[in-house]
Amino acid sequence: MTKVQTTYTLSRKLTDEDSANLTRVHSVYGIFAARPQPSLEELWMEYDASRLTPLDLTAALRSHGLPIVAPV
């Protein structure tokens, strides 16, 4: 297991509707944590790099409806 931490910039601030999507992201195998930053304009992630590539992680976040732009 290789734990990696990264922060994503969001295209807009997270809303209450995004909180359900953020909760569902935790069901993706290899994702350990997803925490919005206090500004709600960034998302801090911790994941297992032996299970997910950065592209896999980005795709998973987008497929869950999160407004991901790019890693910081």
**46 and 5 Cβ atoms separated by less than 8 Å:** yes
The C-alpha atoms of residue 66 and residue 29 are separated, in whole angstroms, by 17
pLDDT tens, position by position, 7-66: 999 999 999 889 999 999 999 999 999 999 999 999 999 999 999 999 999 999 999 999
pTM of the model: 0.89
Residues contacting residue 28 through CB under 8 Å, at least 6 positions apart = 52, 60, 64
How many CB atoms are located within 10 Å of the residue 61 CB? Answer: 22
How far does CA 4 lie from the centroid of its chain? 12
Q: Where are the domains of the chain?
A: 3-71
- % the chain with pLDDT above 90: 88
34, β-bridge pairs: 45
| Domain 3-71, CATH among 2.40.50.140, 3.30.70.100, 3.30.565.10, 3.60.110.10 | 3.30.70.100
